[in-house]
Amino acid sequence: MNKKTKLFLLMNIGNYVLVLLAFLGFRLGAGISVIFFLFCQPALVFVNYYVSQRIWQLAVLSGHLLISTIIANMASVQLYYQFISSDSETLLVGRIEAQIGIVYVIILSVIAIIIAALEKLNNRKK
């Protein structure tokens, strides 16, 4: 296995660091976790873009990032609901937070895939 393949496999697992951070930081509340995810997700998309050799690899890594975002948001909300605030508004805010996270990751992933496709197209023309 070459270095890029090892990095690709590592990033498949590395995208799930959001889940670990959700379990560790749920006591900080939704405001802090939203801000943290807003900065962490673009960094992960950038690393995914750098690590992937082909567009399908970027799509796979983006899919893993999307799954980890959903799991992290829902786990954070459920932990916050169970241990800190058990009202229905907590679940509503958590659902909206998860939906925003999904749309955010999809937009970032589509931008990264388009950039990778344009880069590949420009390399073929040269």
Q: What distance in Å separates the CA atoms of residue 38 and residue 36, rounded to the nearest whole number?
A: 5
Tokens 């996270």, located at residue: 101
DSSP element (H, E) containing 92: helix 88-125
Q: With pLDDT > 70 as the criterion, what percentage of the chain qualifies?
A: 92
Provide the pLDDT for residue 30.
58
Q: What residues contact 105, with CB distance under 8 A and at least 6 apart?
A: 41, 45, 62, 65, 66, 69
Q: What digits encode the pLDDT tens for the residues 11-60?
A: 878 888 888 877 777 666 656 666 777 788 899 899 899 888 889 989 99
Question: pLDDT band at residue 63, thresholds of 50, 70 and 90?
Answer: very high
Provide the pLDDT for residue 40.
85
Q: What distance in Å separates the CA atoms of residue 97 and residue 13, rounded to the nearest whole number?
A: 23
How many helices and strands in the chain, by DSSP H and E?
5, 0
Domain limits, the chain: 3-125
- Choose between 1 and 111: higher pLDDT: 111
Provide the pLDDT for residue 118.
93
From 112, 103, 119, 118, select the one nearest 49 (Cα to Cα). 112
- Choose between 114 and 75: higher pLDDT: 114
Cα 78 vs. chain centroid, distance in angstroms? 19
